[in-house]
Amino acid sequence: MTTLLMSSNSLSFKFSLSFKFMSSQLLKPAILTGLLGLSVVNMSAQAATNNNGKINNKGKNPTASLQLISLNTDDVPLDDGADYLSDIADMLESADQVDDSIDAVADESALSNGSDAIDTDIPDEVAQVSLNAISPETLKTFVAVVDLVRREYVDAVNDEELFNNAMSGMLTKLDSHAEFLDAEAYENLRAFTEGDVGDIGIKVQYQPKEGYWVITEVIDGSPADKKGIAVGDYLHQVDEFKLGEEEESNDIDQLLTGIAGTQVDVVTSKAGRRKHTTTLQRNNNHPQIIETRLVDGMAIIRLPAFQNNSREKLLQSLIDLDAPVTAVLLDMRDNPGGVLASAVSVASLFMTDTDVVQVKGRQSDSRTLSTQGPALLEALPVMVLQNRYSASAAEVLASSLQAQKRATILGEVSYGKGSVQSVIPLNDEQAVKLTVANYMTALGKKIDGVGVEPDVTLLGNESTWEHQALDLLRQQALPSGIRFVRKAQAENNAHYDEKATKNEATKNKVAQKNTLIKHVVEKPTAKDKL
């Protein structure tokens, strides 16, 4: 155990400091494996701004701190009937293991008595870490500030809150994406893998008379409500983006929305009085649902985010159509990103043995994640619809499909997020999020701050883009569609057709096997085209 005895005025502290050093090598699959088999990676980048920190509406508008998450897939529960589902573990090589927690953390009474030592059980390998990087003067100053706040601050504060705030401040000063996650934020971040995107629980509207964005609704019990933000308050800034009349409501909604548990700073005031900055966690959650519908035999799949079961949900949505599909329009507008393994597994539906993304760490080493398993949708023409808010995993998928000329990308330039954050658990309830890597397209092209250029730029109001996309996709649609059914259902159909027709060609067509679903090729009927 490494100890250091410091004193400040009459206050003496014996610190037992522990540091957890991790290998600088980028771990497979470019993610650190942590507590409960969960590891989270955030893909983030800055939106284009002018010199005053204003949003550049001519380029890529900002969106919230949006993330890529990777899981230790051994712990991912599968839905019923998963015996025939492709195991997501096939998508990635097994990750190198690291210690998943600090054995002990000082409790909230650690500073209550100046003569008491902070005693923790520190693993031998951690105790050997040198403290030379932290000067005694720095520690002395920190202790003095803690003592001063505890004695003189107008409101009573406990030591746990002080230390949490200190860690939060240290991390947020590194860059805009690093942060300390308390129990609530950490749990919400883990919950996102099952489908949660969150906001802070407010609605805003621009008031020309006042010349400000005014908060028009605050949801009871939301993060904003708990921090005292009220209807009628002015909203001046979200993170580094100053708000003016040129912004649109959707721009601000995207700034305030992100993966559940992440933080956002908002600058507000009471009727234009002194401005106040508040750090809020996006804990007002919204489950994400994949929506699929059929238009003229073409499947429109709305993919709002990438969770660990997005691949299975996407396939199930095609099965639920119960009709032949002649082409796919993958709508990823406003998609903030999500689970990295999910982006790779969805790409694997469309391509075989193809590189998807490169991830480069501190030592310039890199990992390339590739598709695995059968490309179940390989026969279908595909177009992707994206906008300025399509980010992270959405850009990973779009760029890989574009590089292989597997899909035509429609819309506008995507957001451009390319720094990777790893969430490292400290204990059961707390974690630290650090920037650990950057990512590139499979061809080595930069995405951070650049985005994915569309093959076809769509003009006019965004509400017309789907219609424009379908007009283009219709030219590539198959003359005969593919109906997607579960394996057991297809085998029953094959048995029935064998007895009924003895037609070998029909038998082979209907009995065609796949690991998850079966393709039944048939022409869409008038009913299917409705």
Q: Which whole number is the average pLDDT over 309-315?
A: 93
Confidence category of residue 359, pLDDT binned at 50, 70, 90? confident
Quickly tell me which residue has 């067509």 as its tokens: 509
**Domain assignment present for 426:** no
Nearest Cα neighbor of 343 from 28, 63, 67 is 67
How many whole angstroms separate alpha carbon 364 and alpha carbon 66?
24
**pLDDT above 70 for 386:** yes
Confidence category of residue 282, pLDDT binned at 50, 70, 90? confident
| Residue range(s) defining the domain that contains residue 515 | 481-522
Domain count, the chain: 4
Domain end among 158, 193, 228: 193
Nearest Cα neighbor of 247 from 53, 80, 85, 387 is 53
**Domain assignment present for 47:** yes
Q: Are residues 122 and 201 in the same domain?
A: no
Phi and psi torsions of 251, nearest 5°:
-60, -45
Nearest Cα neighbor of 143 from 125, 174, 166 is 166
pLDDT digits (tens, 9 = 90+) for 513-525: 333 454 555 655 5
- Name the token pair of 348: 């694997």
Q: Are residues 232 and 107 in the same domain?
A: no
Domain end among 170, 193, 216: 193
pLDDT digits (tens, 9 = 90+) for 191-233: 665 556 788 999 999 998 888 999 999 998 889 999 999 999 9
Other Cβ atoms closer than 10 A to 307: 22
What is the per-residue pLDDT for 42? 34
Residues 6+ apart with CB under 8 A from 330: 301, 303, 382, 383, 384, 385, 407
Task: Tell me the torsion sign for CA atoms 386, 391, 397, 403.
Answer: positive
Q: Which whole number is the average pLDDT over 404-428?
A: 90
Q: Are residues 202 and 189 in the same domain?
A: no
**pLDDT above 80 for 476:** yes
| Alpha-helix residue ranges (DSSP H) falling in 182-309 | 183-191, 223-226, 249-256
Domain end among 141, 165, 193: 193
Q: Which whole number is the average pLDDT over 439-468?
A: 93
**pLDDT above 80 for 375:** yes
**Domain assignment present for 489:** yes
**Domain assignment present for 297:** no
Residues 6+ apart with CB under 8 A from 178: 171, 172, 421, 432, 433, 434, 435
Confidence category of residue 247, pLDDT binned at 50, 70, 90? confident
- Name the token pair of 317: 């949505």
Q: Are residues 212 and 131 in the same domain?
A: no
Q: What HEC string does 395-446 produce?
A: HHHHHHHHHCCCCEEEECCCCCCCEEEEEEECCCCCEEEEEEEEEEECCCCE
Q: Which of 61-65, 240-244, 316-320 has the lowest mean pLDDT?
A: 61-65
Buried b (16+ CB within 10 A) or exposed e, 278-287: eebbbbbbee
**What is the longest distance spanned by two Cα atoms in the chain?**
96
Domain of 469: which CATH number?
Answer: 3.90.226.10
pLDDT digits (tens, 9 = 90+) for 121-177: 544 544 554 556 677 888 888 889 999 999 999 998 888 888 888 888 888 888 877
How many whole angstroms separate alpha carbon 295 and alpha carbon 418?
35
**pLDDT above 90 for 309:** no
**Domain assignment present for 355:** yes
Q: What is the pTM of this model?
A: 0.60
Q: Are residues 403 and 450 in the same domain?
A: yes
Q: Are residues 362 and 251 in the same domain?
A: no
Q: Are residues 387 and 352 in the same domain?
A: yes
Q: Which of 6-15, 234-243, 459-468 has the lowest mean pLDDT?
A: 6-15
